[in-house]
Amino acid sequence: MNKAFTREQDGDEDEETLSPSLKLPPGSKNYITPAGHARLVAEQEFLIREERPRIVEIVAWAASNGDRSENGDYLYGKKRLREIDRRIRFLGKRLENAQVVNPTAQGDNDQIFFGATVTLAWDGDTEETYSIVGIDEADAAQGRISWISPLARTLIKSRAGDSLRFQTPAGVREIDILEVRYVALD
């Protein structure tokens, strides 16, 4: 069969193929902060308005050069177009199911919910600060943990001053919640 009539299977980037840390729990909403929502919208707009048209132009130019079977620009361009289209579909689904939650609307609440920035002490000595954000915004290096992460699930509904036990791979650790605040996240 001619290669032109076969379909490459790259696998779709949908809920079934995502890593467990990026999957939403069944029946739940995709909670996200306003800043995270704006980043996803900006990425989708960039892909639709700038990146995809640029790659389509390259593929059209490469296709006009003749033999496509050994044309690297054409083959790479087609592959890149599939990746872009897959990402656009993924972002569309995420944004369609998104529920934007503004952390500053919580006011002076001392109970931990989505959007909280929590300062805690591990085993009574090491202090760390985490912000509980949407799954598409999580970045452990910046202290942003997903609301579905084990740590966030342990913290949710707790209050400043509470002491909790948290199971880690290294064993059980004590967590003391020092401060809970709700601030706008970048």
By CB atoms closer than 10 A (0-12, 13-18, 19+), residue 101 is buried
Contact 148, 159 (CB under 8 A): no
Average pLDDT over residues 61-85: 85
* Residue ranges of the chain assigned to CATH 3.10.50.30: 103-181
The tokens 């496509």 sit on which residue?
A: 68
Percentage of the chain modeled with pLDDT above 90: 45
CATH top class, domain 29-99: mainly alpha
Residue type at 146? S
Q: Which backbone phi and psi does 144 adopt, to 5 degrees?
A: -110, 115
pTM of the model: 0.78
- When pLDDT is cut at 50, 70 and 90, the band that residue 13 belongs to is very low
What pLDDT is stored for residue 33 in this prediction? 92
What pLDDT is stored for residue 20 in this prediction? 62
- When pLDDT is cut at 50, 70 and 90, the band that residue 8 belongs to is low
The whole-chain average pLDDT of the chain stands at: 84
Fold entry, domain 103-181: Chitinase A; domain 3 (3.10.50)
Contact partners, residue 93, CB within 8 Å, separation at least 6? 14, 15
Instruction: Please measure the distance between the N-terminal and C-terminal CA atoms of the chain and give it in whole angstroms.
Output: 52
* Residue ranges of the chain assigned to CATH 1.10.287.180: 29-99
